[in-house]
């Protein structure tokens, strides 16, 4: 059974194992259809219920079936009404860079006004050093790695307590290690403005470039292109023009921070020297990229043009032979070629490793190496000369590398993850291997496992590239049995080596024994303390990790029951109604579920204070403050009315007594139980039985009549006794009797209150 607050999202998961593989479906036990908001993922057996409402409450069934049979698992969702205490502002997970400042604020609406507490990883959090706790506000200055953890804000009042949780992750700040540099360029050149960062390994940087304050849209500007990848996002400007002069800003965004660096680019016209075809001319030139070729001629140099006709020759699983034709060198010989590639999985064009490592300008062929098997590639070539970087060639036709005849070891970490399933082990594969690393068709996983200490491995093949979980079930294994697990991969070419071995545990089993003894005491009109005798670990099949206490008002349906889980053998239950009879039960629990409940006990909360009682308290306080030497303490009176309408039934040797509940007056303590005093007719000694019910069973002696009196019990003392009731000895079998009490003492009660008030005002 799961209690769900209004507006919450619920995710129910169901796992099953069988041969053939069973199909999983969900339905409501009452047969009502699912509303459109609910989502069912049949591939992994997940039912999602967003925006939980009262009508979503009920019993849900997961049905697993195949040609051999079917199995049903059930779970109940209960709507938890927290209208009297609910969040108006809650918390959200935060990712922060070191030395940043964190501020969280939580606010709850409720009457009475709630008070707040903060926890970190379950421990109380107080103001100290960099940490400031102010009601529902939490501020941490200059966060560091030690501040990472799970934080909770608690709001509490007489109606209960609610929690808001959020996780704080603190990481190293992102820094630009290779910033762009201001530079001069000549019209027609191609230049690169670098931008490289160092970052936390868990962060994925996003590079953006701005030109004169405007974001560059690379899809709309042929001159601009971003190269690099991972931790670099360099800006290439091809065939630079005068209009490209200005300020360039590289901005890097991560999930936790943003950094930027700027550079200025100045673009100049190439130098043109005027000359005449007549006469002679003597020149002394010191101009970059200008060659003197004659008496009246100047030759201007530029970056090389784009190579042409890129062709892909022989292709293996990890290499491709490439050739191309040279483009125009623009009067400056090509000194180097760079080969670039892209795949459906890459971000733009990336430089690839070649043989030779550096392709000289006079060579127009190379071999691309270190490619991924069974991946589609396109290739292009960029030429470089002493003037600059040229424009890239047109892409080659796409080609697919061959499937690999061997696979790299499956390096992904296996994490143990157990679900409630008797004697089962569920070692998951955390993330499926991406398609670009599968190296061929018919990719799948091989899961190998064995009980710790044994020598024989069991293997199971998962023939799906998207598989991420395997469940093994065997009822012969004890709960929490240790297994060694390793995972390998395969494709149509063959198998690869296995991952490192890890240890996982089979699931626990629910506790099988209820707490043997449960008792409780009333603390106030809204609070009850419940105690129980712990379950002995040796007597239960499953481990005992804690206890679940359940309570509900007498006569209420089971669906209205409230619960709390603790690890101790007692608990204070607050937020109860005054003068109300509650039923309490306790059961043990662990990671597999809950065990059987104890027999319910009943207990009544105390009577709430009333306005008349507060007036008396104020009067006594006033007298004490006026200088009286006596100390005054107002105690509510014991119940003045005796139990009425007493009935008795005699059957064989037992007497069954029933009577009406005594209702306390405004100035009297609430009735907490009853005392039954009985004795034989001619005997001095008497017996006493106390109960919190309005009935009792007594053993009748055979030789004497029995005299019985009943009185109410309260915090103010014992109440008035009923008149003695004579029950005849056993010779009168199967008898019954009735006694109606005199209610004349009511006037006496009011007289007492009147006398007290008169004395106070005299």
262 and 180 in one domain? Answer: yes
**Closest C-alpha among 281, 373, 294, 364 to residue 323:** 364
**What CATH number should be reported for the domain holding residue 474?**
2.60.40.10
- Is the pLDDT at 279 greater than 90, yes or no? no
Is-contact 127 143, C-beta < 8 A? no
313 and 390 in one domain? Answer: yes
Burial of 189 (0-12, 13-18, 19+ CB in 10 A): buried
The pLDDT value given to residue 622: 45
The pLDDT value given to residue 610: 52
**Higher pLDDT residue, 651 or 749?**
651
Phi-psi region for residue 531, left (φ > 0), alpha (ψ -120 to 50) or beta?
beta
152 and 184 in one domain? Answer: no
Q: Is residue 213 part of a domain?
A: yes
Task: Work out the pLDDT band at 423, boundaries 50, 70, 90.
Answer: very low
**Higher pLDDT residue, 424 or 587?**
587
Domain that holds residue 744: 646-753
736 and 654 in one domain? Answer: yes
**Closest C-alpha among 743, 642, 656, 658 to residue 700:** 656
The two tokens of residue 213 are: 């304050």
Give CA separation, 660 vs 168, 630, 644, 738, 744, in Å: 59, 40, 5, 12, 17
The two tokens of residue 514 are: 């209820």
Q: Is residue 37 part of a domain?
A: yes
Go through 221-248 and write b for each residue having 16 or more CB atoms within 10 A of its CB, e for each that does not: eebbbbbbeebbbbbbbbbbeeebbeeb
Query: What is the C-alpha to C-alpha distance for residues 441 and 572, in angstroms, rounded to an integer?
Result: 61
Query: What is the C-alpha to C-alpha distance for residues 516 and 511, in angstroms, rounded to an integer?
Result: 13
Query: What is the C-alpha to C-alpha distance for residues 510 and 589, in angstroms, rounded to an integer?
Result: 7
559 and 576 in one domain? Answer: yes
- Is the pLDDT at 512 greater than 60, yes or no? yes
Q: Is residue 75 part of a domain?
A: yes
364 and 315 in one domain? Answer: yes
Q: Is residue 415 part of a domain?
A: no
The pLDDT value given to residue 207: 94
Q: Is residue 731 part of a domain?
A: yes
Q: Is residue 569 part of a domain?
A: yes
390 and 362 in one domain? Answer: yes
Q: Is residue 512 part of a domain?
A: no
List pLDDT tens digits, range 374-417. 899 999 999 999 888 999 999 999 999 988 754 554 444 444 44
Is-contact 486 448, C-beta < 8 A? yes
167 and 180 in one domain? Answer: no
Which residue bears the tokens 């790695």? 145
Mean pLDDT estimate for the chain: 80
Give CA separation, 48 vs 13, 32, 56, 102, 194, in Å: 9, 17, 11, 32, 47
479 and 437 in one domain? Answer: yes
- Is the pLDDT at 616 greater than 60, yes or no? no
Task: Work out the pLDDT band at 424, boundaries 50, 70, 90.
Answer: very low
Task: Work out the pLDDT band at 82, boundaries 50, 70, 90.
Answer: low
**Higher pLDDT residue, 286 or 47?**
47
Burial of 105 (0-12, 13-18, 19+ CB in 10 A): middle
Q: Where does a domain end: 213, 248, 268?
A: 268
Question: How many residues appear in the chain?
Answer: 762
Kind and range of the H or E element at 403?
none
Backbone angles phi, psi at 435, to 5 degrees: -60, -35
Task: Work out the pLDDT band at 256, boundaries 50, 70, 90.
Answer: confident
Q: What is the mean pLDDT of residues 467-474?
A: 78
First to last CA, the chain: 62
The pLDDT value given to residue 249: 96
Q: What is the mean pLDDT of residues 253-274?
A: 83
Q: What is the mean pLDDT of residues 169-195?
A: 87
Task: Work out the pLDDT band at 726, boundaries 50, 70, 90.
Answer: confident
Domains contained in the chain, number? 7
Q: 386 by DSSP, 3-state: which?
A: coil
The two tokens of residue 288 are: 């970059």
List pLDDT tens digits, range 688-705. 999 988 999 988 766 677
733 and 656 in one domain? Answer: yes
- Is the pLDDT at 471 greater than 50, yes or no? yes
166 and 73 in one domain? Answer: no
Q: What is the mean pLDDT of residues 653-664?
A: 88
The pLDDT value given to residue 420: 35
Backbone angles phi, psi at 618, to 5 degrees: -65, -40
Helices 611-625 & 745-761, crossing angle to 10 degrees? Answer: 30
The pLDDT value given to residue 163: 83
- Is the pLDDT at 613 greater than 80, yes or no? no
The two tokens of residue 217 are: 């849209």
Q: Is residue 362 part of a domain?
A: yes
240 and 202 in one domain? Answer: yes
Q: What percentage of the chain has pLDDT greater than the value 70?
A: 82
Which residue bears the tokens 């009196």? 709
The pLDDT value given to residue 736: 65
pTM over 0.85: no
């Amino acid at each position: 059974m799961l209690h769900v607050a209004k507006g919450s999202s619920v995710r129910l998961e169901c796992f099953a194992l069988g041969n053939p593989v069973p199909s999983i479906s969900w339905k409501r036990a009452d047969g009502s259809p699912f509303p459109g908001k609910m989502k069912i993922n049949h591939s992994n057996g997940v039912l999602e219920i967003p925006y939980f409402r009262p009508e979503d409450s009920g019993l849900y069934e997961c049905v697993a079936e195949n040609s051999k049979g079917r199995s049903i698992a059930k779970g109940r969702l209960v709507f938890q009404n927290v209208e009297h205490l609910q969040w108006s502002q809650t918390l959200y997970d935060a990712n922060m860079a070191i030395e940043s400042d964190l501020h969280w604020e939580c606010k709850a609406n409720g009457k009475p006004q709630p008070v707040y507490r903060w926890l970190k990883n379950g421990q109380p959090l107080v103001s100290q050093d960099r940490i400031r706790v102010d009601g529902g506000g939490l501020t941490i200055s200059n966060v560091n790695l030690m501040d990472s953890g799970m934080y909770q804000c608690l709001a509490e009042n007489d109606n209960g307590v609610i929690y808001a949780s959020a996780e704080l992750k603190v990481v190293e700040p992102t820094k630009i290690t290779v910033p762009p540099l201001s530079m001069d360029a000549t019209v027609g050149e191609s230049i690169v403005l670098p931008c490289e960062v160092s970052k936390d390994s868990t962060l994925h940087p996003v590079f953006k470039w701005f030109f004169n304050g405007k974001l560059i849209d690379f899809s709309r500007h042929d001159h601009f292109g971003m190269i690099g990848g991972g931790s670099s996002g360099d800006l290439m400007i091809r065939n630079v023009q005068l209009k490209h002069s200005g300020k360039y800003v590289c901005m890097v965004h991560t999930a936790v921070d943003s950094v930027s660096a700027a550079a200025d680019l100045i673009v100049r016209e190439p130098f043109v020297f005027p000359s005449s075809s007549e006469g002679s001319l003597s020149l002394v030139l010191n101009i970059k990229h200008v060659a003197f070729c004659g008496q009246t001629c100047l030759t201007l140099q530029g970056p090389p043009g784009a190579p042409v006709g890129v062709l892909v020759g022989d292709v293996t699983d990890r290499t491709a032979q490439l050739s191309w034709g040279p483009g125009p060198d623009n009067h400056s010989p090509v000194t180097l070629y760079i080969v670039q590639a892209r795949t459906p999985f890459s971000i733009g064009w990336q430089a690839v490793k070649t043989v030779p490592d550096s392709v000289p300008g006079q060579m127009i062929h190379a071999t691309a190496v270190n490619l991924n098997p069974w991946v589609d590639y396109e290739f292009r070539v960029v030429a470089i000369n002493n003037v600059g970087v040229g424009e890239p060639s047109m892409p080659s036709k796409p080609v697919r590398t061959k499937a690999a005849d061997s696979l790299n070891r499956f390096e992904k970490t296996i994490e143990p993850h157990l679900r409630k399933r008797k004697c089962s082990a569920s070692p998951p594969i955390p993330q499926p291997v991406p398609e670009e690393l599968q190296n061929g068709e018919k990719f799948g996983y091989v899961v190998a496992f064995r009980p710790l200490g044994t020598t024989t491995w069991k293997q199971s093949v998962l023939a799906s590239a998207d598989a991420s979980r395997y469940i093994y079930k065997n009822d012969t294994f004890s709960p929490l049995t240790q297994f060694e697990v390793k995972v390998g991969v395969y494709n149509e070419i063959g198998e690869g080596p296995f991952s490192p071995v890890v240890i996982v545990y089979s699931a626990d089993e629910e506790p099988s024994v209820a707490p043997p003894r449960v008792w409780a005491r009333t603390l106030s009109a809204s609070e009850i303390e419940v105690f129980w005798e712990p379950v002995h670990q040796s007597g239960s099949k499953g481990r005992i990790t804690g206890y679940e206490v359940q309570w509900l008002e007498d006569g209420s349906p089971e669906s209205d029951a409230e619960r709390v889980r603790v690890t101790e053998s007692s608990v204070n239950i607050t937020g109860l109604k005054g003068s109300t009879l509650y039923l309490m039960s306790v059961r043990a629990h662990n990671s597999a579920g809950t065990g059987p409940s104890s027999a319910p006990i009943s207990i009544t909360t105390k009577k709430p204070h009333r306005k008349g009682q507060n007036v008396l308290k104020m009067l006594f306080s006033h007298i004490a403050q006026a200088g009286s030497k006596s100390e005054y303490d107002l105690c509510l009176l014991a119940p003045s009315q005796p139990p009425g309408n007493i009935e008795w039934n005699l059957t064989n040797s037992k007497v069954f007594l029933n009577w009406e509940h005594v209702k306390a007056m405004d100035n009297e303590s609430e009735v907490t139980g009853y005392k039954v005093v009985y004795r034989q007719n001619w005997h001095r000694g008497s017996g006493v039985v106390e109960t919190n019910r309005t009935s009792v069973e007594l053993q009748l002696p055979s030789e004497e009549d029995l005299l019985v009196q009943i009185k109410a019990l309260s915090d103010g003392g014992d109440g008035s006794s009923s008149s003695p009731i004579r029950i005849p000895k056993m010779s009168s079998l199967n008898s019954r009797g009735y006694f109606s009490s005199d209610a004349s003492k009511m006037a006496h009660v009011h007289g007492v209150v009147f006398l007290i008030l008169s004395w106070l005002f005299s």
